[in-house]
Structure 1
Amino acid sequence: MDQSKRKDLKIAFDMTFMQLGWSTWMIGIVLLLFVGLQVFTDFKLVLNDEEAAFQGFIHFIENPYKIFMLVVGILSAPKFLSWFVKTGVTRKDYFTGAAIASAALSAIFMIIALIIAGIEQLIAPVDFVTFLGEGASWFLIFIVYTLNIFVYYLAGWLIGAGYYRFDGWGLLFYIIGALVLIFMMDLLWSNELETPLHRLLSLQAPENLSIFISFGISFVFIALSLWVIRATTKRVRVKL
């Protein structure tokens, strides 16, 4: 069992730093773009949103983070599962290691964003605002944003696992499941829902929803997603 745990942690370590290496270009480009917009343009005019202009780097990099995590999650099963199993790693060890790595990567991403946001506040202090409100603590911002970024990895992982095991209509159900997961997280945590699906259904975020309820429902969806991924990859035929 100790050997298996060491394998889990080694897989988590390897995947975290490999995926973190992939992300360096993305973070660098987004940071350069953010600084360029701040220095050389009227940020409010570029964004066409005065409120968003005061939400700082964390708000600016949120969507690039989510897109990156979605893509990396999709690649998790086709790329990493095959490679690890070929080296003698069990599917269970891969699953545990990949889950730890995705959570660690989400936390590291937000630590980087908070450090840059802190430097931004030292250089040009502004009234920092996120969708959590003006009074939200930095710790709460870290936890909630990390959770949301992590969910996008899970959504991609669902799609990747479905693609790896099924073709055609089977994959379609996993794509729908991933969309539902993202949709529900947006509904729980976003005060202003601007996605086409939200506008089509005329949905609004629940008012005065307890943060504990939001966390509780979020963890239920995360646990369900992890269970589906584990069940899908548990006995999948590895493509060598």
Structure 2
Amino acid sequence: MNSRRNVAKDIASLHFNWAGWFLMIIITIYAVFKWGILPIYLEGENFFQFSYQSAKIFSLVIGIISGGTMFAPYIRHGLTRKTAYAGNVIAAFVITACLTATISMITAVEVIVSDSTLFPSPWFFAVLSMFIHLSINFMTGWLITSGYLRFGGIGMTGFILLALFITITNDSILNINSGQAPIFLTDTLASSTGLSILFGAGMLALLVLLGKMTTRHMPIKLK
């Protein structure tokens, strides 16, 4: 347990550094756009909505980086694959939870000081949806890199196609403000927030399981 915690702590510390830079950049861009320094009108969009897409891309990118650089080094230092992977997953949940909480708190402050800004409704499901969405994107990125390391170029191609499918599906289902879904999904699933959250949680659990299966036989160079 301590080994998992230490792995998660090491990886999360790097994630927090990257997330700090990401938040500074996105807040600056939002402030520039929101208060009209540049001629771009956000049409009542709040910080939560503005940062959602960028946060998803950020999670995907750090997932790709983590899958390639934050697993093998711990195996070389004598930890088991199970421990190293568990630490990576814990760190993924920590950074996505903190990112979601920070974005939500900034939006809450914005709502308080600005009468023209409203928090996405229902707010609890909006926040939970972001957390699940960011976690899914992180694990999807992790799988792209681990798929390449496990199966080579062909494997990476297959995992990239899987990532595209997952991204398109979850963008349609977990978007609180969208009632549209791919043609192979029911309208009920797209329009019901509770079902969307359950579907996203199930998809996240499947990705964690796939990641564990992929890393189980991933070749590791010990030198």
Q: TM-score, normalised by structure 2?
A: 0.88
The 2-side partners of 1:156 and 1:193 are apart by: 26
Structure 1 residues 132-164: Cα deviation after superposition (integer angstroms, max 9, x where no partner): xxx413x32221111111111011011011112
CA contact (8 A) 1:193 1:204 kept: no
Paired letter, 1:28? M
Paired letter, 2:187? P
% identical aligned pairs: 22
Q: For 2:103, which of 107, 110, 113 is the aligned residue?
A: 113
The 1-side partners of 2:194 and 2:133 are apart by: 15
Aligned pair 1:23/2:22, yes or no? no
Aligned pair 1:141/2:104, yes or no? no
Aligned residues: 220
The 1-side partners of 2:135 and 2:217 are apart by: 25
Which runs of 5 or more residues in structure 2 are unaligned? none
How far apart are 1:116 and its partner, in Å?
1.2
Structure 1 residues 76-100: Cα deviation after superposition (integer angstroms, max 9, x where no partner): 2220112111222211111111111
Q: For 1:76, which of 66, 87, 99 is the aligned residue?
A: 66
What secondary structure sits across from 1:46 in the alignment?
A: coil
Aligned pair 1:151/2:151, yes or no? no
Aligned residue number for residue 86 of structure 2: 96
Aligned residue number for residue 85 of structure 1: 75
CA contact (8 A) 2:107 2:119 kept: no
Which runs of 5 or more residues in structure 1 are unaligned? none
Q: TM-score, normalised by structure 1?
A: 0.82
What secondary structure sits across from 1:11 in the alignment?
A: helix
The 2-side partners of 1:31 and 1:212 are apart by: 30
Superposed, which structure 2 residues align to 1:200-211 within 5 Å?
206-207=187-188, 209-211=191-193
Aligned residue number for residue 116 of structure 2: 126
Structure 1 residues 175-232: Cα deviation after superposition (integer angstroms, max 9, x where no partner): 11111111221221235489xxx8xx77898257433322222222212211111111
